């Protein structure tokens, strides 16, 4: 525990140092229309397909949790082939389209890492969620790490201790973790990631479980990739309904429901607060997303600004 705590402190110090080199005005002179271009494209993509907002948000999370917010997840193959990502990550075409637009406006200026970070924020806003100021100036990695993606992205079967450790290792507080989990107020999950919860767990609303079983049969290999909404109440609105669902034992994933036990569990009070206070959730989520975007960015002369997000220059 002492070693892990020290690692988290060191990581936090490095993140603070790196984020100090980021600035919300980074492109004001070199590409003044960058943010407006990203927002317009994201809004159009989400309006075309509501699910895309969650996909872009997840893409950002899966980027930042593995060697920092460096767009490594956008490189073809590698991290994309990791177990948490293969055949589930999506939204690459939206990022590629934005990058192509920006390249015609400001050649090799706006990084893929910054595009992805801003797109995550704009996706949340497009679905009615909070906004926040995004510091800019990240650069793109020249490598990706499939093994790290397999080891560092928290899986859907994690319990509260595992989740707390996983997020804590990245410098997040428990409140940050519960707030970031609220991203599951949008998006969908594959049957293979919640089948065991449906058929083997007891802390699940029986009617909720029954409603999902037809589309998620018990035998492994049957309907593995069938989808269900993470938020059964308002699946395409970024709101605090996720926490009310947890209180009703309607968390889709095991790693969702462990946040609320109803018997005084470690994060019960935070879930209660977010369920009853939308403003508290919005504020905590925005704050945690800024932290997320500050995870080990490449800055200055580190890395590169890719011309195409899917490959190194």
160-291 CATH, one of 1.20.210.10, 1.10.420.10, 2.60.120.620, 3.30.1330.40: 1.10.420.10
Return residue ranges of the chain for CATH 1.10.420.10: 160-291
Number of C-beta neighbours around residue 16 at 10 A: 11
Burial class (CB in 10 A: 0-12, 13-18, 19+), 282: buried
201 annotated among ligand-binding-site residues = no
114 annotated among ligand-binding-site residues = no
Please list, residue by residue across 189-225, b when 16 or more beta carbons sit within 10 angstroms of its beta carbon and e when fewer do. bbbbbbbebbeeeeebeeebbeebeeebbeeeeebee
pTM: 0.93
Q: Is 62 a known active-site residue?
A: yes
Fold of 33-152: Peroxidase; domain 1 (1.10.520)
pLDDT digits (tens, 9 = 90+) for 175-196: 999 999 999 999 999 999 999 9
185 annotated among ligand-binding-site residues = yes
In terms of phi and psi (left: phi > 0; alpha: psi -120 to 50; beta: otherwise), the region of 128 is: left
Strands, DSSP E only, in the chain?
188-190, 227-229
Marked catalytic residue, from 39, 58, 60, 62: 62
**Using CA atoms, how far apart are residues 30 and 11, in angstroms rounded to an integer?**
31
Place of tokens 């209180």: 247
pLDDT digits (tens, 9 = 90+) for 209-266: 999 999 999 999 999 999 999 999 999 999 999 999 999 999 999 999 999 999 999 9
**Hey, what are 138's tokens?**
């990240």
Return residue ranges of the chain for CATH 1.10.520.10: 33-152
Mean pLDDT of the chain: 95
């Amino acid at each position: 525990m002492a070693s892990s705590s020290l690692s988290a402190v060191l990581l936090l110090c490095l993140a603070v140092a790196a984020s100090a080199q980021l600035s919300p005005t980074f492109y004001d002179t070199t590409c003044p229309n960058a943010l407006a271009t990203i927002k317009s494209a994201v809004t159009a993509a989400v309006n075309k397909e509501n699910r895309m907002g969650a996909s872009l948000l997840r893409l950002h999370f899966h980027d930042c949790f593995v060697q920092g917010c460096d767009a490594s997840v956008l490189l073809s193959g590698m991290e994309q082939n990791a177990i948490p990502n293969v055949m589930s990550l999506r939204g690459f075409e939206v990022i590629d389209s934005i990058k192509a637009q920006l390249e015609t406006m400001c050649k090799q200026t706006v990084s893929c890492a910054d595009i992805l970070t801003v797109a995550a924020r704009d996706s949340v806003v497009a679905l009615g969620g909070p906004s926040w100021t995004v510091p800019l100036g990240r650069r793109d990695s020249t490598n990706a790490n499939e093994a790290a993606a397999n080891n560092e992205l928290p899986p859907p079967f994690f319990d509260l201790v595992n989740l707390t450790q996983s997020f804590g290792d990245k410098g997040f507080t428990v409140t940050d973790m519960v707030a970031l989990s609220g991203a599951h107020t949008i998006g969908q999950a594959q049957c293979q990631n919640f089948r065991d919860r449906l058929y083997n767990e007891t802390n699940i609303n029986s009617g909720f479980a029954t409603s999902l079983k037809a589309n998620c049969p018990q035998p492994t290999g049957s309907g593995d990739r069938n989808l269900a909404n993470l938020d059964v109440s308002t699946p395409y609105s970024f709101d605090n309904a996720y926490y009310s669902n947890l209180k009703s034992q309607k968390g889709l994933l095991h790693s969702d429901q462990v946040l609320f036990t109803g018997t005084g569990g470690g994060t019960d009070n935070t879930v209660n607060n977010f369920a009853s206070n939308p403003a508290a959730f919005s504020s905590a989520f925005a704050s945690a997303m800024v932290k997320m975007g500050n995870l080990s960015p490449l800055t200055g002369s580190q890395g590169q600004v890719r011309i195409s997000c899917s490959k190194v220059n």
